[in-house]
Structure 1
Amino acid sequence: MEAAVSRSYWQATGGPVTDRPSLPGDLEVDVAVVGAGYTGLWTAYYLSLAAPSMRIAVVEAEHVGFGASGRNGGWCSALLPMSAPSMQTAMEATVDEVGRVVQLEGIDCDFAKGGTIVFARTPVQAQRAAGDQWLDAEQARARCNAAGLLGATYTPHCAAIHPLRLVRGLAAAVERRGVTIYEHTPAVRIHADRVLTAHGTIRANSVVRATEAYTSRLPGHRRTVAPVYSLMVATPVLPASIWDAIGLRERETFSEHRHLIVYGQRTADDRLVFGGRGAPYHFGSAIRSSFDRDGRVFAMLRETLGELFPILGDVPIEYAWGGPLGIARDWHASVGVTRGVYHAGGYVGDGVGLSNLAGRTLTALITGATSPLLDLPWVGHRSRRWEPEPLRWLGVNAGLRLMSAADAEEARTGRPSRRAALFARLAPH
């Protein structure tokens, strides 16, 4: 396992790397975007379509797709970190919108809309899944033959993607439309009319903060989101005999109705990529490259993968990596304007699709266009700030432990977990 640590499958197969220069000095533009991940680049993309003459600059502390946009599980889904029927409808359309742009722009990101299957492997999980689009055990096995299936839920509103190729392709698309991206240019401070960076000041009519988990590094934002780590592993290319047994013929993404989140997909080159929570939150909302590596979590993911698919036997893990995602205090994503700065985030790991909806919504807000997107309930939503330390560290990590213990409790008792009910009261979403 250790030999695989710090190697990202997405980076290894992400194609050519474009190294862009840093900001050469002070600059004046119409719109300055901080962050060259999905949110920032989708915003720049739709702005460039709505107003082709608009001067748009994107600044990125590292390189395009450095954060969650280049490291995630590769689900472009209609999943939401909050409940709202109008948002659900908008997100279902968003999956198709991403597919449309991928085709239009010629972005080679292995987009395959195979939907999502979520396993129920215990009676408690089956009970929890009631009300969703249900597949009985035989129907579920026809899509994915996970061990111990009692049934599953299924939605067609999800596409498997190669996330790093998507963000790199999106960067190339905005550059073709005249947007300038400056890498290796960390923002020091963000105001409504300017962005102070390590290499100069960008003055702008509008400023967009698109920094997700890394928002916690900005002055005054230490408690805006909690950066929580999600880690992933990838197998070598699996032979046809294993895939004949597992399924996922339409490249369905998959998960389980457990409390501690896990997620996976079959890649275009026939690997299993699998991830989940379980890594600790770090005191003071700290983010470090060393936190991407946690041998205990990698081992847990491989063990869980073996439980789901015993046919994998002793197949090794070839790649293992991770990174932080952003969680608002009420687990509610938002898009809007605060003190003159446009922003979106708090996606709780569902940002591949949500960021596209955010980019279109921010474009309407910035240009003053009339759009039904502005009536969606996440527009203008304000999450309260996270508690100061050490309460934040204690609370977030207690929640992670509760979810892990809840799954063990349900497996042992066969009844819904009291721990999970307690967590729902502590962290409603």
Structure 2
Amino acid sequence: MTGRSLWSEQVEERAPHDPLDGDDQADVVIVGAGLTGLWTAYYLLEADPSLDVLLVEAQVAGFGASGRNGGWCSALLPVSADELARRHGPDAAAAMRAAMRDTVVEVGGVAAAELIDCGFTFGGTVTVARNRPQLERVADAVAADARWGDESHLLDADGVAEHVRASGAVGGSFTPDCARVHPARLVRGLLDVVLARGARLVEGTRALRLSPRAVVTDHGTVRARWVVRATEAWSAHLPGSHRDVAPVYSHMIATEPLPPEVWAQIGLARGQTFTDARHLVVYGQRTTDDRLAFGGRGAPYHVRSAIRPAYDRVDAVAAHLEHELVDLFPVLDRAEITHHWGGPLGVPRDWHPSVGLDLETGIAWAGGYVGDGVALTNLAGRTLADLLTGADSPLVRLPWVDHRSPAWEPEPIRWAGITATRRATAWADRTEARTGHPSRMGGLLSQVLGH
């Protein structure tokens, strides 16, 4: 993990766990030891400490998006509440929104109760609008939040400056429903807790096939009553799941630790996370050691859902992120960029995350978080634990339970569509910045993407 991300460099190295040693059995086998798998193990063992829970990880725990993300524990969902209401009804949409707000609190509560030092800071999120079309979108989002019980506040330029002083800000919004976290420390702390409670972990063990009541790996077969797929972007490489999600890359950069006089010109004094209202997402946070960590989408999608180490660092993407960061905060024009990393996140065809259990096969799943997984993984873990133990809780009736997204198109149509969408999104942002008018392409993209 060393060098994988800023976050992974800041956790103490540990010896990897041994691979699976031949055939085995368990009550529950969880494929993937990221946050989805770890939260599932945590809540399963909380519900029934006698369960034999085995985590199977192809690399090391936290290798994927769990250890590389932007560190937002947010109530955000990739699919809007209005879209949830259209698909599932208004009561279901309201319940899902309430569950997401509660989940942010739940993660902080577990971190405190289990003494997980992950820098959890309930600072909220400020969204910056830097032109009129962006401000209109922010105002629409604030109005939508009010319809669904989400707290958000429309800000003028001075109101934005109370949180963050970004160049060209004409307004924005603020929501308290987000916390800054150090994701790798959250992973490590959660791993230590579940291992102490009796969960088992094998690393360097690749799942080749998920079958009814069994997982076939390159080191043996594990038979279990329940099988949980917690592989997010890597689901695209499992037989039978090739078109379930598209692995779309997101990249980040981080500055050197910045002195107080620089932070006085930027803000973020209370641990706020930040974004702006462009179509092509950017995101950032002030880290616990006073760096600015900044990321964004826009890296190429690779044909046939390819995932390779070489894609984790792309110089052109890093240069673009540095340019955008300095454009937001000119005071950083001479700050050293010390880290650049990236990795894939899982995007379902309809941008609708899901969790579920097939009682006939015993195979459960969760994923399709589209980059909003730090909180969603916790909700997934609690929901999976209730599904597997048969608990009749409100969580198992949320609208994402047993949702089935349509399959992605076959290649090369998939590559062409995702690439065209990425380029059109960037074009819409450039057009709005240049003209000061909403891009018709941006509105069309929202309809196509369904969020």
User: Which bracket does the TM-score occupy, shorter chain normalised?
Assistant: over 0.9
What is the number of residues matched between the two proteins? 425
Distance 2:106 2:56 in 1: 25
Distance 1:99 1:78 in 2: 13
Partner of 1:21: 18
Distance 2:269 2:314 in 1: 31
Partner of 2:102: 93
Contact 1:15–1:165 at 8 Å: present in 2 too?
no
* Structure 1 residue 215 displacement after superposition: 0.2
Among 116, 122, 125, the residue aligned to 1:113: 122
* Structure 1 residue 150 displacement after superposition: 1.1
Contact 2:28–2:53 at 8 Å: present in 1 too?
yes
Contact 1:21–1:183 at 8 Å: present in 2 too?
yes
Partner of 2:61: 64
Q: SS in structure 1 opposite 2:20?
A: coil
* Structure 1 residue 302 displacement after superposition: 0.4
* Structure 1 residue 18 displacement after superposition: 4.1
* Structure 1 residue 349 displacement after superposition: 0.2
AA of the residue aligned to 2:125: T
Partner of 1:53: 50
* Structure 1 residue 191 displacement after superposition: 1.4
Distance 1:41 1:11 in 2: 17
Q: SS in structure 2 opposite 1:265?
A: strand
Q: Deviations over 1:307-326 (max 9, x none)?
A: 11011122121000000000
> Over aligned residue pairs, what C-alpha RMSD do you find?
1.2
Matches within 5 A, 1:173-188: 173-188=193-208
AA of the residue aligned to 1:150: V
Partner of 2:31: 34
Q: SS in structure 2 opposite 1:99?
A: helix
Q: Deviations over 1:204-263 (max 9, x none)?
A: 000100000000110121111000000000000000000011110111000000000000
Distance 2:134 2:435 in 1: 13
Contact 2:79–2:450 at 8 Å: present in 1 too?
no
Matches within 5 A, 1:307-386: 307-338=327-358, 339-386=361-408
AA of the residue aligned to 1:63: V
Among 271, 274, 278, the residue aligned to 2:294: 274
Distance 1:197 1:356 in 2: 26
Partner of 1:197: 217
Change in 2 beyond 3 A, CA 1:227/1:366:
same
Matches within 5 A, 1:115-264: 115-131=124-140, 132=142, 133-264=153-284
Q: Deviations over 1:370-424 (max 9, x none)?
A: 1001111101111000000000000011111111111001011211111112222
AA of the residue aligned to 2:106: E
AA of the residue aligned to 1:308: L
* Structure 1 residue 16 displacement after superposition: 3.2
Contact 1:7–1:319 at 8 Å: present in 2 too?
no
Distance 1:253 1:265 in 2: 5
Contact 1:258–1:407 at 8 Å: present in 2 too?
yes
Among 405, 417, 423, the residue aligned to 1:401: 423
Partner of 1:3: none
AA of the residue aligned to 1:39: T
Distance 2:45 2:32 in 1: 16
AA of the residue aligned to 1:404: A
Among 387, 392, 396, the residue aligned to 2:414: 392
Partner of 2:444: 422
* Structure 1 residue 36 displacement after superposition: 0.1
AA of the residue aligned to 2:248: V
**Normalising to structure 1: TM-score of the pair?**
0.97
Contact 1:336–1:362 at 8 Å: present in 2 too?
yes
Distance 2:15 2:120 in 1: 22
Change in 2 beyond 3 A, CA 1:315/1:7:
farther
Contact 2:5–2:67 at 8 Å: present in 1 too?
no
Q: Deviations over 1:315-368 (max 9, x none)?
A: 121000000000000000000024531000000000000000000000110000
Distance 1:16 1:284 in 2: 34
Contact 1:336–1:342 at 8 Å: present in 2 too?
yes
Identity rate of aligned residues, in percent? 55
* Structure 1 residue 7 displacement after superposition: 5.5
Partner of 1:306: 326
Deviates more, 1:289-298 or 1:11-20: 11-20
- Alignment pair present for 1:74 and 2:71: yes
Distance 2:371 2:257 in 1: 26
Change in 2 beyond 3 A, CA 1:191/1:7:
closer
AA of the residue aligned to 1:237: P
* Structure 1 residue 15 displacement after superposition: 2.4
Q: Deviations over 1:159-183 (max 9, x none)?
A: 1111111111111110011000111
Contact 1:327–1:347 at 8 Å: present in 2 too?
yes
Q: Deviations over 1:28-56 (max 9, x none)?
A: 11100000000011000000010110111
Deviates more, 1:356-365 or 1:82-91: 82-91
AA of the residue aligned to 1:60: E
Q: SS in structure 2 opposite 1:29?
A: strand
AA of the residue aligned to 2:410: P
* Structure 1 residue 425 displacement after superposition: 3.0
AA of the residue aligned to 1:351: G
* Structure 1 residue 17 displacement after superposition: 2.4
